[in-house]
Structure 1
Amino acid sequence: MAGQSKFKKIRRTLLTVVMAAACFVLGGVIIHRFLPPAATFLMISRAVAGDGMNYKWRSIDDISPRLVEAAIAAEDSTFCAHRGFDMKAIEQALKANAKAEKRKSGRIRGGSTISQQTAKNVFLWPGRDWVRKGLEAGYTVLIETVWGKRRIMEMYLNVAEMGPGVFGAQAASRHWFGKDADELSPREAARLAAILPSPRRYNAGSPGPYVRRRAARIQAAMGTVRNDGLAACVLR
């Protein structure tokens, strides 16, 4: 009897912990459906490292539509069509990374969608460990369900790092081009999207050859995004 009582007590404790964790996670997602985050793990880590934290929230209505098109063109062309995960992109990334590992060369390629990147950026810490990837998948499902595409894009364009300690479209527009986010030209939007994979390495204001080439490709793809309605779930 004593053993059964102890087992029941442990089970109740575990159930309470699981329910509390679920409420914490779901509560955070619901709150950020309406309120911007005060800061993220990455923002705090950059500030602690001495880069500062240049972060200014802007509504999606106050961000140039060209930047929405550039982000979709550069990072996730099926953003409006998928439910958080692009299985084809994940499969391609796994194959490319397996080949790079065999050659013991080449950079690791990611297959994350904008939804996955947003879940990571807002709620989780940087890194590639499996615990974080599992949590990222769970948060991705939740934000796709609770937030919807327009809010996901709004959050993404506000918390993504776009320079050393520079977060979001407004801060990046002021930092690199001396203008507000709603004034970005197609070329400037393409340059910001071009540095997203390595914002601490590349310069959007005075880009080198690689960023110029990548930005040119992104700007050309932005026409396809616009003409084919690939940003219709965000732009009204």
Structure 2
Amino acid sequence: MKNPSRIITFFKNAVKFIIALPIVFTLLSATIILIFRFINPPVSAFMLKKSGISFEQPFYNNEQKHEWVNLNNISRNLTLAVIASEDQKFLDHFGFDIEQIEKAINEMERGRRVRGASTISQQVVKNLFLSGEKNFIRKAVEAELTLLVELIWSKRRIIEVYLNIAEFGRNVFGAEAASKYFYKKNAKKLTRGQAAMLAAVLPSPVR
């Protein structure tokens, strides 16, 4: 017969572990996000996925175009075009556009094609940290990380990271690489028309 005290101790330790796990995850996530407030991430989770990296294939099997530049070296035309196209309430919300989420839910209930309701902050989190899987746990993690990003980063930093990791075409990531690939110029020199064209491809950069 098993010792009852050992069973009780086991369950106590299990409860402590369950309680501690989300706290540790939050602290670890906050630390990583704080680091990326000051240090530019060299690559995103989405870029790694697109490259085909896995345990079976640990190296890049395709050539990705990516070059990080700070926000001062990206045309204001592109910054404004992306905000207007992707997230018009970017400067006002705290990571979530409740109105767009409600619209998406209503469209889903009516059986219509659901429009994306993700903010730029959410897209940064999905591209930088998460895989493409869609389930409840991933959504919960995304929500927590989005709140942490909004809390720790400035809006300027959020849009800077987004413009540097967003996919603008097949294996073309970031404003600088996209500008050079499509227009043979630096991102700082993009015209309004060119910026509008790049912003327009963001919902479906690879068709």
TM-score (norm. length: structure 1):
0.77
Q: Tell me which amino acid in the other structure corresponds to 2:202.
A: L
CA distance in 2, matches of 1:156, 1:38: 13
Of 83, 95, 101 in structure 1, the residue corresponding to residue 94 of structure 2 is: 83
- 2:27 is matched with which residue? 23
Deviation at 1:152, TM superposition (A): 0.5
Alignment gaps of 5+ in structure 2: 54-60
Deviation at 1:94, TM superposition (A): 1.8
Is residue 2:72 matched to residue 1:72? Answer: no
Q: Tell me which amino acid in the other structure corresponds to 1:6.
A: F
Of 31, 34, 40 in structure 2, the residue corresponding to residue 36 of structure 1 is: 40
Contact preservation (8 Å) 1:120, 1:136: yes
CA distance in 1, matches of 2:24, 2:135: 24
Contact preservation (8 Å) 1:51, 1:164: no
CA distance in 1, matches of 2:14, 2:28: 21
CA distance in 2, matches of 1:127, 1:172: 26
Is residue 2:14 matched to residue 1:10? Answer: yes
Range 35-44 or range 153-162, more displaced:
35-44
- 1:47 is matched with which residue? 51
CA distance in 2, matches of 1:31, 1:176: 32
Of 135, 139, 144 in structure 1, the residue corresponding to residue 145 of structure 2 is: 139
CA RMSD of aligned residues (A): 1.7
CA distance in 2, matches of 1:73, 1:142: 24
Partner SS for 2:41: coil
Of 93, 98, 101 in structure 1, the residue corresponding to residue 104 of structure 2 is: 93
- 2:188 is matched with which residue? 182
Contact preservation (8 Å) 1:46, 1:52: no
Per-residue displacement from partner, 1:147-206 (whole Å, max 9, x unpaired)? 0211000011011111111111001111111111101000000000000011012xxxxx
Contact preservation (8 Å) 2:121, 2:146: yes
CA distance in 1, matches of 2:26, 2:104: 31
Contact preservation (8 Å) 1:44, 1:53: no
Per-residue displacement from partner, 1:65-106 (whole Å, max 9, x unpaired)? 0011001110111111111111111111222233345xxxxx
Partner SS for 2:168: strand
Contact preservation (8 Å) 1:97, 1:109: no
CA distance in 1, matches of 2:24, 2:102: 35
Deviation at 1:16, TM superposition (A): 4.6
- 2:176 is matched with which residue? 170
CA distance in 2, matches of 1:100, 1:57: 41
CA distance in 1, matches of 2:88, 2:14: 48
Partner SS for 2:118: coil
Is residue 2:68 matched to residue 1:57? Answer: yes
CA distance in 1, matches of 2:108, 2:15: 42
Alignment gaps of 5+ in structure 1: 102-106, 202-236
CA distance in 1, matches of 2:193, 2:38: 31
Partner SS for 1:162: strand
CA distance in 2, matches of 1:48, 1:86: 32
